[in-house]
Amino acid sequence: MNNVILQLNNISKSFSGVQALQDVSLTIRRGEIHCLAGENGSGKSTLIKIIAGVVLPDSGEIIINGQTVRRLQPIDAIRAGIQIIYQDFALFPNLTVAENIALNHELAQNKRFVNWGEVRQVAQTALDQIKVRIDLDTTVDRISVAEKQLVAISRALLQQARLLILDEPTTALTHREVESLFQIIKGLQPRGIATLFVSHKLNEVFAISERISIIRNGRKVVDTAAQSYDQSEFVYSMTGRRFDEQRYNYQAAAADGPPLLRVERLSAPESFADISFELRAGEILGITGLLGSGRTELALALFGIRPATAGTISVHGKAARIASVQDAIRYGIGYVPEDRLTEGLFLSQSIARNIVVRTLDQLGGAPRLLSMSRLRQSVATWVQQLAIKTSSPELPVRTLSGGNQQRVVLAKWLAGAPRVLILNGPTVGVDVGSKHELHEIIKGLARDGMGLIVISDDIPELLQVCNRILLMRKGRLAEAFDRSHVTELELTAKLIEA
C-alpha cells in the first residue's frame, strides 16, 4: 500500500435518478501511467470530478496516500498532490507564461506584494523541470496548444503534483507534439509522479499506458496491464460491440466526364501555393499534413472564408469564382469545421435550430412565413437518418455528446444537399463507437455520389475512409498516395518527415 497514491473503492454516484457510476474501484500507484477510457457518457468524467473533490460520491471509499478521506474537497485534492489538466487547460489568456505558472505559487505565500523577478525565476524553474523552453513574457493567447499544455503541466508540478490527470490531452496536438508530451510524462516517472491518461485514442493508449481501466455504462469492465490487452478487445470493452470496419472501395463513375471539383494552381499568400487536384463524384479524398502545412487554409479558401488570390476552381467543369461563403454554398460546397464548438454550432440553441439554420429559406409555407410542419419533418428526418441520440430535438445542442454534436453539424450541411463536402477533422474528440459510425456515414454519402474531402492527421482514419491521400508540407502538395499502395507506417513517416 505504501506505493499507492490513490485508491477508490466501490464508488457510486447518481444524478436525478440516473446512475452515473456503480461500484467503481480504481488504484493508481506511484510513477504509474494509467489509462482511463470510456465512451462519452460512460461515467469517466464523473469519476474525475470525484477524484478532484468537485463531486461527492453517494457511496464508496476514497483513500489518498494511505489516508481515508471522509469528504474530499477540491483544496484537499490539490494539497494531496492531485492535479487535473482539463482540455481547456484553465489558463488566463491575457497573462504571460510566467504569470500563469507562478502566480498561484505566489498567492500561496500570502505576500502583500508580488516580486516579479521571483515570478520569472519560479516559472523558469518549473519549465526546467520538464526541459522545455517557452518565452516567459509572451501572453498565453499567443502560444500554441502544445505550449499551453506544457504551461499547465509546469504549473501543476510547481504545486507538488504527485498525480497528474490529463483529460484528452492530445486532441489538438500534432503527431510530433504527442511524442514530445509522452517523453515528458515518462520523464516524470522516476520522480514517482503518476499520470492518469484519459483518452480513447487506441494507438496512443497502447503507446504510453502501463495499465488500462475501462468504464462502460457507469461500471468498470476492465482493469488490466496494457501489454495483456489488444486493440480489438479494447474497442469491444468500451462499446460492447464488435466492429468489422471495411475500407471504402471507390468505383470511378463517369471518369471521362468533368470532375466534380477541379483546383488548378491555387495560391494564397503565406498559406499555400500552386495547389492542383481533382475530386470526382463518389470519391473520398484525404488531405493530411502537420500543423502549419496549409491544409486548413486550403479548406477555408475552397469554402470562401479566406479566398485564394491566384489559381482557378471549377465545379462540374464550369469555372467557379469563390470569394465568399455564399459563393461556395451557391456552387454546392459545404464545410464541417475542425472546431465544432466555436465554429460549427450554436451551443445554447436547440438541436432542431442547429439542423435547419442553413435551410430556413427552403422551409417556407405562406409568403414570408416559416412552415413549422416542414421544419419539424426536416429535423425528424435528419435525427433519424444520422441516428442523433437525443430524447428531444428541442434540447440545447450542448447537451449532446461529441459524436452526436458532430452529427448535428453534418445534418446542417446535408440538409442543403451539397455536391462537395469538406470535413476538417471529422472525428476529433469523439469516442471509438461514434468514430466508426461517422466513418460509415461518410462512406454512405460517397456511395450516393457526393464528393468528399477529409482533412486529418489521423493516418488510420484516412486509410480507412479515403481512396486517395494528398500530403501537404509547408503550403505545397508534397506527395499523393493511392490508398491501396501505401501502409500506415509509410504514410506516418512521410507525415512527420522534416
Same-domain check for residues 408 and 271: yes
Answer whether residue 322 shows pLDDT above 50: yes
| Residue 458 burial (CB count, 10 A) | 19
Which DSSP string corresponds to 368-418? Answer: T-B-HHHHHHHHHHHHHHTT---S-TTSBGGGS-HHHHHHHHHHHHHTT--
Q: Give me the mean pLDDT over the 251-262 stretch.
A: 72
Across the chain, what does the average pLDDT equal? 87
Sheet strands (E) in 283-352: 284-288, 310-315, 318-319, 333-336
The dihedrals phi and psi of 265, each to the nearest 5 degrees, come to 50, 40
Nearest to 143 by CA among 96, 177, 189: 96
d(CA 477, CA 289): 9
Looking at the domain assignment, is residue 245 inside a domain? no
Sheet strands (E) in 343-491: 420-424, 451-455, 468-473, 476-482
Give the torsion through C-alpha atoms of 207, 284, 433, 380, to 10 deg: 160
Answer whether residue 197 shows pLDDT above 50: yes
Q: Is the dihedral of CA 306, 312, 315, 321 positive or negative?
A: positive
Answer whether residue 66 shows pLDDT above 50: yes
Q: Give me the mean pLDDT over the 479-495 stretch.
A: 88
Same-domain check for residues 278 and 219: no
pLDDT in tens, 218-255: 999 999 999 888 888 888 888 887 877 678 888 765 45
Q: Give me the mean pLDDT over the 2-25 stretch.
A: 92
Same-domain check for residues 279 and 141: no
Answer whether residue 361 shows pLDDT above 80: no
175-188 vs 488-496: helix axis angle to the nearest 10? 90
Please identify, among 209, 239, 269, the residue that sits at the C-terminal boundary of a domain. Answer: 239
Question: pTM of the entire structure?
Answer: 0.74
Same-domain check for residues 143 and 211: yes
Same-domain check for residues 20 and 167: yes
Sheet strands (E) in 347-426: 420-424
d(CA 333, CA 262): 13
Q: Give me the mean pLDDT over the 348-372 stretch.
A: 72
Q: Side chain identity at 393, as an amino acid letter? A: P
Please identify, among 239, 272, 296, the residue that sits at the C-terminal boundary of a domain. Answer: 239
Looking at the domain assignment, is residue 491 inside a domain? yes
Answer whether residue 365 shows pLDDT above 60: no
pLDDT in tens, 368-417: 556 677 788 888 988 988 888 888 999 999 888 777 888 898 889 888 88
Looking at the domain assignment, is residue 254 inside a domain? no
Q: Report the domain count for the chain.
A: 2
Comparing 129 with 362, which gets the higher pLDDT?
A: 129
Give me the pLDDT at residue 366, please: 45
Give me the pLDDT at residue 225, please: 93
* Residue 443 banded pLDDT, cuts 50, 70, 90: very high
Same-domain check for residues 200 and 84: yes
Nearest to 463 by CA among 204, 288, 291: 288
Please identify, among 205, 239, 273, the residue that sits at the C-terminal boundary of a domain. Answer: 239
Same-domain check for residues 446 and 311: yes
pLDDT in tens, 150-190: 898 998 888 889 999 998 888 767 777 888 889 999 999 99
Looking at the domain assignment, is residue 127 inside a domain? yes
> Domain range holding 22?
4-239
d(CA 330, CA 420): 11
C-alpha cell at 103: 502566480
Looking at the domain assignment, is residue 244 inside a domain? no
Same-domain check for residues 277 and 348: yes
Which CATH number does the domain housing residue 137 bear? Answer: 3.40.50.300
Looking at the domain assignment, is residue 252 inside a domain? no
Same-domain check for residues 98 and 217: yes
Looking at the domain assignment, is residue 285 inside a domain? yes
* Residue 342 banded pLDDT, cuts 50, 70, 90: confident
Q: Give me the mean pLDDT over the 83-112 stretch.
A: 82
Same-domain check for residues 319 and 404: yes
- pLDDT exceeding 90 applies to what percent of the chain? 48
Answer whether residue 344 shows pLDDT above 80: no
Give, for 496, the enclosing helix (H) or strand (E): helix 488-496
Give me the pLDDT at residue 28, please: 96
Give me the pLDDT at residue 238, please: 85
Same-domain check for residues 446 and 343: yes
The secondary structure of residue 110, as a DSSP letter, is T
Give me the pLDDT at residue 346, please: 83
Q: Give me the mean pLDDT over the 333-349 stretch.
A: 84
Same-domain check for residues 278 and 343: yes
Looking at the domain assignment, is residue 253 inside a domain? no
